[in-house]
Amino acid sequence: MPLSVSRSLAIIAVTALTTFATRSFPFLVFSGKKVPRIVTYLGKALPPAVISMLVIYCLRNASLTEYPHAAPEMIAIAVTVALHVWKRNNLLSIGVGTVLYMFLIQTVF
């Protein structure tokens, strides 16, 4: 361990409290009040947009301009999507996608 036990525990506490602060924020702001309709609408329209954003977030460091031009990502994603539309089996799609990607970056590219 590079740090003392108390320092390590303090780092975990700070990270935990900061993370919890972000998650509890809307519940604290709107607690006990009637939620404005515009917020209710946003709550319903957000999930598909957020899931799309999280896909882009996962791919944020892939480079299209440098070799291998994000080819491993694109191949693995295409296979995952095709497999999922075909079988609708979550475990299969995630497992095959991940193992294929690992194989591609470790041995092919």
Q: Could you list the residues that contact other proteins (CB under 8 A)?
A: 1-3, 8, 10-16, 18-20, 22-27, 30, 35, 38-61, 72-73, 76-77, 80-81, 84-85, 90-91, 93-95, 97-98, 101-102, 104-106
Closest approach of other proteins to the CB of residue 13, in Å: 7
Q: Nearest to residue 70, comparing CAs of 78, 59, 81?
A: 59
- In angstroms, rounded to a whole number, what is the distance separating the alpha carbons of residues 39 and 31? 13
Closest approach of other proteins to the CB of residue 73, in Å: 7
Q: Using the minimum distance from each CB to other proteins, give the nearer residue, 71 or 104.
A: 104
Q: Which two tokens stand for residue 66?
A: 């440098």
Closest approach of other proteins to the CB of residue 27, in Å: 5
- In angstroms, rounded to a whole number, what is the distance separating the alpha carbons of residues 79 and 74? 9
Q: Which two tokens stand for residue 98?
A: 């991940």
Closest approach of other proteins to the CB of residue 63, in Å: 10
Residue type at position 101: Y
Q: Using the minimum distance from each CB to other proteins, give the nearer residue, 48 or 67.
A: 48
